[in-house]
Structure 1
Amino acid sequence: MAAPPAAPREAPAGRRRGRLALLAVGLGVLIVVGSALHLTQGTSAVSALDVLRLVFGGGTGDTAAVVLESRLPRLLAAVVVGIALGVAGAVLQTVARNIMASPDTLAVDAGAHLAIVAVAAFGVSLPLAGAAGIAFAGGIGAAALVLTLSGTGGTGIVRLVLAGTAIALAMKAATSMLLLLFAQETRGLFAWGSGSLGQNGLDGLLTLGPVIGVALVLLLALSRRLDLVYLGEDHARTLGVHVGRIRFAGIGLAVLMSAAAVTLAGPIGFVGLAAPALARLLANAVPGLHRHVVLIPVSAALGVTLLLGADLLLRALIGSQNALEVPTGVVTTVLGAVFLVVLARNIRVSSATTEPPAAGTRGTLTALRYRLILGALIVLALGAVVVSVLLGDIGILLGDVVNWVSGQAGPIVSNVMENRLPRVVAALLAGAALALAGALVQAVARNPLAEPGIIGVAGGAGLGAVAVITLVPGVGFWTQAGFAGLGAALATVVVFAMAARGGFASERLVLIGFGVQAGTQALVILLITLSDPWNETKALTWLGGSTYGRAFEHLVPMALALALVVPVLVRAHRDLDLLSLDDETPRVLGVPVAGSRLLMLGCAVLLTGAAVAGVGVISFVGLVAPHAARAVVGRRHSRALPVAALLGGLLVCVADTIGRTVIAPDQLPAGLMTAVFGAPYFVWLLYRSRTRT
């Protein structure tokens, strides 16, 4: 695992100042030129010459109104938010001693967004400063939880990303539930939730700009102490630095800046990761940049540059009118995902494997006890199917089901069964498919905290399906399923081809997959926003995973995928046991590592693509079900795979039933419910594995 880089050797003072000055001038020129171009873009007829005349004291009143009321607030928002996110990311990386720390990976943005949406959903009206305070509370809580789970010793890059991703997924699921349940109260917050620079005048900037400025000054005052904290706790304590207080102050000020940025523009993704990480990479070529008194301003300038560049690129590509409907944060997320993939390819990671939590206590499980457990799970799954069929907005009895099977049911019962039974079976099949895919990914990647969603497979499948639905209206289900499988395959090829550099380290695979997943999700939002910007329910339902409207036709791809994959796994379960250990052991025992890994990944892609095509993107099932199976029956895949499939099907079936009954006739997507159920279990897994380590 990568540790924080050592401070570069000091160069001669003249050369150090020269390179720093050159970097400062270069960033200043980029910001000035970008700002000038930014003021010339807009939906009105005001041209660049009109703006230039206004700068030199000319121009009309209409020109001044357009610039001062519309273009200037957007420009200043980009500057202020870029500064806030760049500085916040730099400080969070220092406090965590981890180059992957940022407002995104620490779930600060997700926590702040959830807090603001919750306040809006329950009809509480707050002034802008009050909203910033609510966002701060949500952000600081999320950051504290993620850092508690991942640690701050500089050796938890993948753990930090996974912890932050899981917490963010749970918070985004809760946010999506509020957006669906309180659609009128939260109207407009879906697109804003991806980050938008649009402002209504300068009031927000005048209120929160000074808050960001004060936090920046305080962090610069702490810069020397932050230098020592980043180098190491022991060294800092030897020089009299109270590490705990500096960390608390740094996290508090960074989260305050992030919360102010979220309040102004929504959660704008990846700027807080890319800007400071790029600054730290430049420190190898620019001596002295590692010192926080320089690093903080440079990270701020890079944040402004990235955000201005993303907004300029967005409006140049799709036009200023269309850009009003597309969140700027979508563009920064796509660009940031590319940066993260490049960074992950070159970062130093450990090749050591990790023992799956709760997996080592069931190695002596007897065959009789295993059969009893398996039988009990089969009975539970069948019972869940029966209960799910009976419950809903219209309740039916078991006798009604018997009459329907025998063809003697009335029209009401027949209509209920023809709509409800495919949904129940779809949930069961999708859960089983995702659980098996998760177990395969964890074994191949040798990372017990990975799953199809984390490594980008689910995101690729979702992008493929949404793309064909959006671009080709009225397309058939089989075409949709085919594009979902194609998207999953392409995402997998990209992730594993990029991860192959440097010996295919499992941690590099997870980091690259995380970047691909974030990028594909951003592209899904972009497609939906461009094609149907006011249909938030469509976006939330698809991204949340739903069995709504499923027919027996939609079950065929999942059933075929399971029918093809299960015989392969029956024959290859011993190879999976060996692949989950290391590369050397299976080679010694004659197992073709590359071929077996490719076969298992192909099975995982097929299962994930079929599940996403059938019910959309469902989170946590591929992570929770394999862990729970190992906790119950141990690590042997001959036992863990069937148990994982049953647990996955049971989880999604129960989640779907709760989602369509608790607020009937309204419904909540099954994927949102699995996230709510799965997040606490995943948090417990992370905490337990950290304490063991």
Structure 2
Amino acid sequence: MTKQWLIIRPQVLPISWKSDRRVPGVLLILTLITLVAMVISVGYGEYQIAPLDVVKTLLGLPTTNGDYAFIINTLRLPRTIVAFLVGGGMAIAGTITQGITRNPLAAPGIIGVNAGATLAAVTLLVLLPNAPISLLPFAAFVGALTVALLIYLLAWQEGSSPVRLILVGIGFNLIAGALTNLMITFGEINNVSQALVWLAGSVYGRGWSQVLALIPWIGIFGAIAFYLARELNTLNLGDEVARGLGSRVEWQRGLLLLTSVALAGSSVATAGAVGFVGLMAPHIGRQLVGASHEGLLPVAAMMGGMLVVCADLLGRVMFAPLELPCGIITAVVGAPYFVYLLIKNR
């Protein structure tokens, strides 16, 4: 396979213009692992259900207990599906962010996009507690989009340099985080407690309404991301080379940034601040199938979904009957992983 070499300081990554031959096999393995994790997750709880009974219930086959259908289909299955969709959305957003900034340490949670979504959502929860919950995804999207636009405008200097995007984004991440803490400090206790649970990052209590609200965001913008995979490869070659190949660099970077914002904002709005998934999943996917985004995007999406599903399951198992939010689990794993990447990339 013909490969071109892309230098990402200080990392060197191979880019192939066709999807790696390993992609179908890796996707199949990840899908099987994810399905097993989802079956175990659906069956685990105060009322234990054997994996075989879970599968039978999902397939509509008769089981030994008629209550299984209600427990699985109404209480547990939507929570697991939300976890998968959130993980997939964050992973795609992270892959795009790393691609347009040409930086392996970039992610929506690091350059301020997630912080903007978090600030908007917390503001809605604290100041307008009686507002319909259906407004939360739109508020988070508006917050993420506002921060992304400000980052893009302030990073503009005869073009949007990837380095300036990252530096300005880190600044906005700190500002949005400080404003979020300010909202929590001066908010009413009842409203703040709800916001704090949401800030930890959790899929607890998520139902079919959240699944139906999230699917259009992940489906539409995920499809746009896959469609623009080749343009993302071109941008990775550098702005000058991309322009030489006929790419409209700023238009493509802006569209990809908007796609990343929509995916990250909708995911954060649904499950809260589940951190580091957008950083870890693209890196793991790159190790498995290489850097070509035609194959990397679906692999990273599946990896992100699997990570959040497993994190949610571990959060319920580790200290049962107490339950840890999945965001805490991903942070415990992701923070050392981020330090490892910093050391590896100096």
Hey, what does 1:182 align to over in structure 2?
none
Hey, what does 1:523 align to over in structure 2?
179
Structure 2 letter corresponding to 1:397: A
The question of whether the paired residues in 2 share the 8 Å contact of 1:446 and 1:506 is answered with yes
Does residue 1:647 correspond to 2:300, yes or no?
no
Hey, what does 1:551 align to over in structure 2?
207
Please point out which of 345, 354, 361 is paired with 2:8.
Answer: 354
Does residue 1:637 correspond to 2:290, yes or no?
no
Cα drift, residue 366 of structure 1: 8.7
Structure 1 letter corresponding to 2:8: T
1:192-211 equivalence runs, <5 A: none
SS at match of 1:518: helix
Identity of aligned residues (%): 38
Hey, what does 1:662 align to over in structure 2?
318
Please point out which of 204, 222, 225 is paired with 1:569.
Answer: 225
Does residue 1:676 correspond to 2:329, yes or no?
no
1:287-306 equivalence runs, <5 A: none
Cα drift, residue 546 of structure 1: 0.5
Hey, what does 2:119 align to over in structure 1?
463
Report the Cα distance in structure 1 between the residues aligned to 2:105 and 2:41, rounded to whole angstroms. Answer: 30
Please point out which of 582, 591, 604 is paired with 2:238.
Answer: 582
The question of whether the paired residues in 1 share the 8 Å contact of 2:92 and 2:222 is answered with no
**Taking structure 1 as reference, are residues 531 and 537 closer, same or farther at Cα in structure 2, changes over 3 Å only?**
closer
Which digits, 9 at most, give the CA deviation of each residue in 1:588-623, with x for residues without a partner? 111100110111011101101110111001111111
The question of whether the paired residues in 2 share the 8 Å contact of 1:461 and 1:486 is answered with yes
Higher RCO structure, 1 or 2 (CA under 8 Å, sep 6+):
2
Please point out which of 481, 495, 507 is paired with 2:151.
Answer: 495
Report the Cα distance in structure 1 between the residues aligned to 2:78 and 2:130, rounded to whole angstroms. Answer: 21
Please point out which of 11, 14, 27 is paired with 1:374.
Answer: 27
Structure 2 letter corresponding to 1:406: G
Does residue 1:393 correspond to 2:46, yes or no?
yes
Unpaired runs of 5+ in structure 2?
1-5
Report the Cα distance in structure 2 between the residues aligned to 1:582 and 1:384, rounded to whole angstroms. Answer: 39
The question of whether the paired residues in 2 share the 8 Å contact of 1:489 and 1:605 is answered with yes
Give the TM-score normalised by the residue count of structure 1.
0.46
Cα drift, residue 658 of structure 1: 0.5
Report the Cα distance in structure 1 between the residues aligned to 2:143 and 2:191, rounded to whole angstroms. Answer: 23
Report the Cα distance in structure 2 between the residues aligned to 1:590 and 1:364, rounded to whole angstroms. Answer: 16
Cα drift, residue 472 of structure 1: 1.6
Please point out which of 433, 439, 448 is paired with 2:95.
Answer: 439
Report the Cα distance in structure 2 between the residues aligned to 1:388 and 1:508, rounded to whole angstroms. Answer: 42
Hey, what does 1:306 align to over in structure 2?
none
**Taking structure 1 as reference, are residues 637 and 583 closer, same or farther at Cα in structure 2, changes over 3 Å only?**
same
Report the Cα distance in structure 2 between the residues aligned to 1:478 and 1:423, rounded to whole angstroms. Answer: 17
Report the Cα distance in structure 1 between the residues aligned to 2:132 and 2:73, rounded to whole angstroms. Answer: 23
Cα drift, residue 528 of structure 1: 2.2
**Taking structure 1 as reference, are residues 527 and 585 closer, same or farther at Cα in structure 2, changes over 3 Å only?**
same
Does residue 1:621 correspond to 2:277, yes or no?
yes
**Taking structure 1 as reference, are residues 649 and 552 closer, same or farther at Cα in structure 2, changes over 3 Å only?**
same
**Taking structure 1 as reference, are residues 399 and 620 closer, same or farther at Cα in structure 2, changes over 3 Å only?**
same
Report the Cα distance in structure 1 between the residues aligned to 2:19 and 2:331, rounded to whole angstroms. Answer: 33
Hey, what does 1:326 align to over in structure 2?
none
SS at match of 2:228: helix
The question of whether the paired residues in 1 share the 8 Å contact of 2:125 and 2:195 is answered with no
Hey, what does 1:87 align to over in structure 2?
none
**Taking structure 1 as reference, are residues 679 and 359 closer, same or farther at Cα in structure 2, changes over 3 Å only?**
farther
Report the Cα distance in structure 2 between the residues aligned to 1:415 and 1:592, rounded to whole angstroms. Answer: 51
Cα drift, residue 688 of structure 1: 1.8
Report the Cα distance in structure 2 between the residues aligned to 1:666 and 1:536, rounded to whole angstroms. Answer: 21
**Taking structure 1 as reference, are residues 466 and 637 closer, same or farther at Cα in structure 2, changes over 3 Å only?**
same
Cα drift, residue 358 of structure 1: 7.5
Report the Cα distance in structure 2 between the residues aligned to 1:435 and 1:646, rounded to whole angstroms. Answer: 8
Cα drift, residue 356 of structure 1: 7.3
Aligned-residue CA RMSD (Å): 2.5
Hey, what does 1:452 align to over in structure 2?
108
The question of whether the paired residues in 2 share the 8 Å contact of 1:388 and 1:424 is answered with yes
**Taking structure 1 as reference, are residues 541 and 648 closer, same or farther at Cα in structure 2, changes over 3 Å only?**
same
**Taking structure 1 as reference, are residues 358 and 687 closer, same or farther at Cα in structure 2, changes over 3 Å only?**
farther
**Taking structure 1 as reference, are residues 550 and 395 closer, same or farther at Cα in structure 2, changes over 3 Å only?**
same
Cα drift, residue 537 of structure 1: 5.1
1:179-218 equivalence runs, <5 A: none
Please point out which of 234, 247, 261 is paired with 1:591.
Answer: 247
SS at match of 1:477: coil
Report the Cα distance in structure 2 between the residues aligned to 1:446 and 1:487, rounded to whole angstroms. Answer: 24
SS at match of 2:263: helix
The question of whether the paired residues in 1 share the 8 Å contact of 2:86 and 2:308 is answered with yes
Cα drift, residue 449 of structure 1: 0.6
**Taking structure 1 as reference, are residues 364 and 446 closer, same or farther at Cα in structure 2, changes over 3 Å only?**
closer
**Taking structure 1 as reference, are residues 466 and 517 closer, same or farther at Cα in structure 2, changes over 3 Å only?**
same
Which digits, 9 at most, give the CA deviation of each residue in 1:407-434, with x for residues without a partner? 8653466235422211111110000000
The question of whether the paired residues in 1 share the 8 Å contact of 2:316 and 2:322 is answered with yes
Please point out which of 265, 275, 279 is paired with 1:609.
Answer: 265
The question of whether the paired residues in 2 share the 8 Å contact of 1:484 and 1:613 is answered with yes
Hey, what does 1:52 align to over in structure 2?
none
Larger radius of gyration, structure 1 or 2? 1
Structure 2 letter corresponding to 1:687: I
1:266-415 equivalence runs, <5 A: 354-355=8-9, 357=11, 359-360=13-14, 368-401=21-54, 402-403=56-57, 406=60, 409-411=65-67, 414-415=70-71
**Taking structure 1 as reference, are residues 370 and 478 closer, same or farther at Cα in structure 2, changes over 3 Å only?**
same
**Taking structure 1 as reference, are residues 384 and 406 closer, same or farther at Cα in structure 2, changes over 3 Å only?**
same
Hey, what does 1:483 align to over in structure 2?
139
Structure 2 letter corresponding to 1:392: G
Cα drift, residue 505 of structure 1: 2.6
Report the Cα distance in structure 2 between the residues aligned to 1:432 and 1:635, rounded to whole angstroms. Answer: 18
The question of whether the paired residues in 2 share the 8 Å contact of 1:357 and 1:685 is answered with no
SS at match of 2:104: coil
Range moving further from structure 2, 605-614 or 501-510: 501-510
Report the Cα distance in structure 1 between the residues aligned to 2:149 and 2:17, rounded to whole angstroms. Answer: 38
The question of whether the paired residues in 2 share the 8 Å contact of 1:428 and 1:649 is answered with yes
Does residue 1:510 correspond to 2:166, yes or no?
yes
Which digits, 9 at most, give the CA deviation of each residue in 1:392-413, with x for residues without a partner? 2332123443246538653466
Cα drift, residue 523 of structure 1: 1.8
Cα drift, residue 569 of structure 1: 2.7
Which digits, 9 at most, give the CA deviation of each residue in 1:367-409, with x for residues without a partner? 5433211211111111111111112233212344324653865
The question of whether the paired residues in 2 share the 8 Å contact of 1:652 and 1:674 is answered with yes
Equivalent pairs counted in the alignment come to: 338
Report the Cα distance in structure 2 between the residues aligned to 1:647 and 1:516, rounded to whole angstroms. Answer: 28
Hey, what does 2:3 align to over in structure 1?
none
Cα drift, residue 683 of structure 1: 2.2
